Structure 1
């Protein structure tokens, strides 16, 4: 889904680039999207105009024939202070210790992966999160953190000089609708976190999982809230029937066409950019879980497959046999 553009403002942000043939591929840590630049740029972290990048063609990462993924999701912990019923993580996974987390961070940094989204669990529960980000940034990665926002207000200052974007998960535009999924008080904490991140100058966006029970009024109100808060945009995520979310799939899962139709009006009328991450777009995506094992979404993102432990940077290589090439 193409982002809406009525209020697209020009700001300079950090992206990650990789030369590909006579052009460059760009990873946007705020949206998670991949763009074809149409111009040659240096490899690694680059400062670019956000409006320029948004105007470049969006491409599925699988369309870029590279040896390693364009971006990965790294979940260095399983622990979370909330219990979302559609969580993608595997709660049975054991967490690596501090030294092993740094080993994984260094391997990712060596691998030429452009983007790393640090997720969980709840990544802001990690005391060494800023230092892990430093390792990834030193390797040339663009780094985002996906969080439920409940600890963001107290950690935003430490993240501000390090992270390239934060993505805060909301399940509704107010406490009544959000807290029914995530627990009492979680909405107010998340909003405080969003305000703190914006005050610190961190590029910030809201993410919301799209469910069949999500009504049009809630969707519109969430986008209006984003505009009021001053975030850079909203991404609605198709629910993936992975992890605990598998139990909700029959009742709550929308087809990509249904989701696109639900958001069609917002693509031209919203006050902030609105995007949909379809299930198709999530196919082949690479996940590194808390135990250091590599996983990849199957091509249709209806399941995720375990591959192997991450022992060397070459273990991130894309192969035809795991469905990611």
Structure 2
């Protein structure tokens, strides 16, 4: 399958950002800068690289959460629900600042981004700047919007909290599992690459994780990313559900992965220093250990995304 990524030369190396997985890769040859389409088998052959090792003054990628509203109430949500949301005109200005900043990719998150009627316009601003764009969604609205969304973004990431309605709906609410699966099917039918994302919790067993991997393969998703829970936002109250990076790594490494499916783990350590643009237009970066957030500052223009330290990453 061909997928769209964004490439640039950084420090004499050709760097590729993959919007489906959020991974940064090192290409095996020089590539034209900007948005390009490559076969996903070729992409998988390029080694992953830690953005921090690039010593760049800019994040490779970031998360933009243009809203805090959501139709579900997940107990591990990272968002501060008290934040004010910018009006549409200011959202567009924020998108333009990100688009002209030099970052390679943006994941539009929330809140629930599919609640935004101007989501396609925001994505178009980023694409026009040469960025690769993904959307992270709970999937409730995805079946209705997938066909239109496919004309504006490069990938969609759908959050699942368990391999069945009992596990997932206990976290997110009744019918949310079936709505998410319907959205995945619709996205694949529309030609959108799909990744399933699951937050690892102590209450999820190895069998649960294996069932999620098998479910992703049956649905035609390209990958599964297991995310270490961050003790931020409402998730700070779920310390009993936290597991260490080493435990999470052992769990994920023990899974049997069907052919053609990419499975990866985002450790808590890897989430350190990640850049987020919030719904109020403020920029935060996770603390190096991802146990909290650093100081915030208003994004007035592209230079507001510059890393505060030469070894910072996103």
Q: Could you tell me the TM-score, scaled by structure 2's length?
A: 0.97
**Aligned in 2, Cα 1:12/1:321: closer, same or farther, shift over 3 Å?**
closer
| Aligned partners of 1:71 and 1:116 also within 8 Å | yes
Deviations 1:103-135 (A, max 9, x none): 000000000110100000000000000011000
Give the alignment partner of residue 19 of structure 1, picking from 9, 24, 28: 9
| Aligned partners of 2:78 and 2:234 also within 8 Å | yes
Deviations 1:195-217 (A, max 9, x none): 00000000001000000111111
Q: Does 1:244 align with 2:234?
A: yes
**Aligned in 2, Cα 1:324/1:265: closer, same or farther, shift over 3 Å?**
closer
Q: For residues 321 and 48 of structure 1, what CA distance do their matches in structure 2 show?
A: 30
Q: For residues 163 and 262 of structure 1, what CA distance do their matches in structure 2 show?
A: 32
Taking the TM superposition and a 5 Å limit, the aligned residue runs for 1:1-325 are 11-249=1-239, 251-266=240-255, 269-271=257-259, 272-320=261-309, 324=313
* Structure 2 unaligned regions, length at least 5: none
Higher mean C-alpha displacement, 125-134 vs 49-58? 49-58
Q: Could you tell me the TM-score, scaled by structure 1's length?
A: 0.94
| Aligned partners of 1:296 and 1:322 also within 8 Å | no
- Report how many aligned residue pairs link the two structures: 313
Q: For residues 226 and 110 of structure 1, what CA distance do their matches in structure 2 show?
A: 35
Segments ≥4 residues shifted beyond 3 Å: 268-271, 321-325
| Aligned partners of 2:6 and 2:130 also within 8 Å | yes
1:179 Cα deviation from its structure 2 partner? 0.3
Tell me the SS of whatever aligns to 2:297: strand
| Aligned partners of 2:4 and 2:154 also within 8 Å | yes
1:269 Cα deviation from its structure 2 partner? 3.8
* Structure 1 unaligned regions, length at least 5: 1-10
| Aligned partners of 1:179 and 1:187 also within 8 Å | yes
1:21 Cα deviation from its structure 2 partner? 3.5
Deviations 1:207-263 (A, max 9, x none): 0000011111111111111111111011100000111101102x0111100001111
1:300 Cα deviation from its structure 2 partner? 1.2
1:323 Cα deviation from its structure 2 partner? 5.4
Q: For residues 96 and 322 of structure 1, what CA distance do their matches in structure 2 show?
A: 31
Deviations 1:21-66 (A, max 9, x none): 4321110000000011131112211111211111111111111122
Tell me the SS of whatever aligns to 1:240: coil
| Aligned partners of 2:56 and 2:310 also within 8 Å | no
| Aligned partners of 2:55 and 2:312 also within 8 Å | no
| Aligned partners of 1:299 and 1:324 also within 8 Å | no
Q: For residues 120 and 81 of structure 1, what CA distance do their matches in structure 2 show?
A: 11
| Aligned partners of 2:5 and 2:16 also within 8 Å | yes
1:138 Cα deviation from its structure 2 partner? 0.2
